[in-house]
């Protein structure tokens, strides 16, 4: 991957990373969008979408609720989408490795968000007196500083992850010794398990929801059979 | 008498609301963001930006606050109205404290636990039915942001209209019954979408599809039963790492 390829991806990771919490939270940071955009930047939107769909299945399980700690899917999806889009071929193992890297980067990204929040807390504590005096400059400054820090976080995470994961993935692919069908089956099976459990956990408490889900599964299978 | 906010001020508040979590932290949570969003309205207090009323109000509004980021628009609208109406500071502080809980729980249930997963499921379903990259992404973003921007605009307007009586607006049938309707729809579409997604990614071969469907069902039931004790995506990292090792050293 050249610098010309890296720069737009890093910028995409930064902007989408910002969307997770800071600005504007319109969910361009969701895997299904972020990975597709990364793939599109590299001329392979369909491959980006494929990995985006799988990561979206995992992301269904994690709710971005306020102070809770959750994975950061945006930069992770940009990295995973790029890995799949830049792989020499869409052969065995590529999808599996892209999803694995995406999950790991999402974990690290979640940790990096916590660090940004700690820095924000430190800055807010240092400027508490000025805020208590009603200083507009300080109130706006804290906001702009927090936004900038989050933007840098997304860029750094995307850059480091791409620099580490791209050569590592290519090296592992050279030794890959399992069929494409089995490789796909494992990763798709895992994603579907997590997504099914997530849908259940989210909605089962509502009266009748389990029957709605069961009806949906039957309808989905019927639709598949007649297509 | 209530002061009508000019369009420019409302637009500035709305744009700032999109960045309300810009300085989110574990000490003041959304607090600084509330002050940041209210600032354009506070300029209309007697004395303007250099007045004592402006500085006191900005200081008051930049303290600790917690709410769902979209529903915080209702707080910003109501607090702007209270400040511009000249309500006593102690009353504003009490009201501000009382708002945190309801705005957090209503927003979390409606958006994070219902609307967002439903929109993801719809996009997954569209993919499963054969939608391409542009179609899938556009369906997700258009649907999600229809609700997102609609909610923020409504909340800001409701907050400013009702002021300290904004709790009445929170009793709206959409907020009360919305999560239940969205949950049933999400459950139905979730069940419908997942087999279609599996089918499209696995490709031709009914035998493999059957095995994966069975494995996914067993895995899903196990993860659902372990709800609250394990996180599926973390388990997936372990399993995938083991599989990669197997695939390269085999």
Render pLDDT for B60-88 as a digit per residue (tens, 0 to 9).
Answer: 999 999 999 999 999 999 999 999 999 99
How high is the pLDDT of residue A165? Answer: 97
Q: What is the pLDDT of chain B when averaged over all its residues? A: 95
Mean pLDDT value across residues B91-116: 95
Q: Which of A71-75, B52-56, B176-180 has the lowest mean pLDDT?
A: B176-180
How high is the pLDDT of residue A76? Answer: 98
Can you tell me which residue has the tokens 């892209």? A98
Q: Which residue of A has its CA nearest to B117?
A: A60
> How many C-beta neighbours within 10 Å does residue B176 have?
12
Does residue B106 have a pLDDT over 70? yes
Q: What is the pLDDT of chain A when averaged over all its residues? A: 95
**Looking at CA atoms only, how far is residue B150 from chain A in angstroms?**
12
pLDDT band at A4 (very low <50, low <70, confident <90, very high): confident
Among residues of chain A, what percentage have pLDDT more than 70?
A: 100
Give me the total of CB pairs closer than 8 Å, taking one residue from chain A and one from chain B: 350
Does residue B120 have a pLDDT over 70? yes
pLDDT band at B203 (very low <50, low <70, confident <90, very high): confident
Put simply, the answer to whether B35 touches A131 (Cβ < 8 Å) is yes
Does residue B122 have a pLDDT over 90? yes
What is the largest distance, in Å, between two alpha-carbon atoms of chain A? Answer: 69
The SS3 call for residue B65 is strand
**This prediction's pTM:** 0.96
Tell me: ipTM over 0.90.
yes
Mean pLDDT value across residues A30-46: 97
**Looking at CA atoms only, how far is residue A158 from chain B in angstroms?**
19
The Cα A146–Cα A193 span in angstroms is 37
Put simply, the answer to whether A178 touches B247 (Cβ < 8 Å) is yes
The Cα A38–Cα A74 span in angstroms is 10
Instruction: Identify whether A213 is preceded by a cis peptide bond (ω within 30 of 0).
Output: no
Q: Which of B190, B196, B200, B209 to mutate to test the interface with A (most CBs of A within 10 A)?
A: B190
Does residue B21 have a pLDDT over 70? yes
pLDDT band at B31 (very low <50, low <70, confident <90, very high): very high
How high is the pLDDT of residue B1? Answer: 58
Put simply, the answer to whether B247 touches A201 (Cβ < 8 Å) is no
Q: Which of 103-142 (B) contact A at CB < 8 A?
A: 104, 108, 112-114, 116-117, 119-121, 123-124, 127-128, 132-134, 136-137, 140-141
Can you tell me which residue has the tokens 């309707």? B181
Among residues of chain A, what percentage have pLDDT more than 90?
A: 88
Mean pLDDT value across residues B92-100: 95
Put simply, the answer to whether A66 touches B68 (Cβ < 8 Å) is yes
Does residue A90 have a pLDDT over 90? no
């Amino acid at each position: 991957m050249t610098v010309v390829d890296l720069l737009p991806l890093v910028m995409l990771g930064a902007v989408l990373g910002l969307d997770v919490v800071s600005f504007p939270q319109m969910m361009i940071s969701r895997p299904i969008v972020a990975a597709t955009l990364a793939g599109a930047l590299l001329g392979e939107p369909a491959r980006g979408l494929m990995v985006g769909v799988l990561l979206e299945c995992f992301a269904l399980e994690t709710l971005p609720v306020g102070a809770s700690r959750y994975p950061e899917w945006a930069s992770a999806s940009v990295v995973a989408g790029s890995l799949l889009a830049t792989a020499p071929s869409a052969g065995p193992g590529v999808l599996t490795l892209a999803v694995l890297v995406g999950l790991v980067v999402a974990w690290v990204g979640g940790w990096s968000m916590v660090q940004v929040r700690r820095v924000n807390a430190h800055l807010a504590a240092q400027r508490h007196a000025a805020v208590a005096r009603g200083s507009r400059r300080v109130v706006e400054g804290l906001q702009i500083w927090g936004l900038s820090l989050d933007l840098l976080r997304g860029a750094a995470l995307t850059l480091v992850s791409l620099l580490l994961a791209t050569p590592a993935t290519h090296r592992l692919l050279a030794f890959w010794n399992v069929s494409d069908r089995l490789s796909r089956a494992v990763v798709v099976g895992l994603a579907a398990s997590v997504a099914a459990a997530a849908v259940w956990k989210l909605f089962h408490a509502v009266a009748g929801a389990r029957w709605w889900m069961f009806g949906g599964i039957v309808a989905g299978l019927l639709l598949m059979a007649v297509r | 008498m209530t002061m009508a906010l000019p369009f420019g001020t409302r637009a500035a508040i709305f744009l700032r609301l999109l960045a309300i979590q810009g300085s989110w932290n574990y000490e003041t949570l959304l607090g600084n963001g509330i002050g940041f969003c209210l600032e354009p309205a506070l300029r209309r207090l007697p004395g303007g930006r250099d007045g004592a009323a402006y500085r006191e109000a900005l200081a008051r509004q930049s303290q600790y606050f917690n709410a769902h980021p979209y529903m915080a628009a209702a707080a910003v609208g109501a607090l702007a109205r209270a400040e511009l109406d000249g309500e006593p500071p102690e009353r504003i502080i009490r009201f501000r404290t009382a708002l945190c809980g309801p705005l957090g729980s209503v927003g979390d249930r409606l958006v994070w636990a219902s609307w967002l997963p439903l929109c993801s499921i719809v996009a997954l379903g569209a993919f499963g039915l054969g939608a391409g990259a542009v179609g899938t992404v556009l369906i997700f973003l258009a649907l999600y942001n229809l609700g997102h921007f609609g909610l923020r605009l409504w909340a800001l307007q409701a907050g400013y209209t009702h002021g300290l009586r904004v709790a009445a607006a929170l009793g709206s049938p959409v907020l009360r019954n919305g999560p239940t309707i969205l949950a049933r729809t999400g459950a139905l579409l979730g069940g419908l979408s997942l087999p279609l997604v599996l089918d499209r990614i696995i490709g031709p071969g009914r035998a493999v599809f059957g095995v994966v469907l069975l494995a996914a069902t067993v895995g899903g039931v196990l993860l659902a039963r372990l709800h609250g004790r394990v996180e599926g995506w973390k388990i997936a990292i372990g399993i995938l790492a083991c599989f990669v090792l197997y695939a390269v050293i085999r």
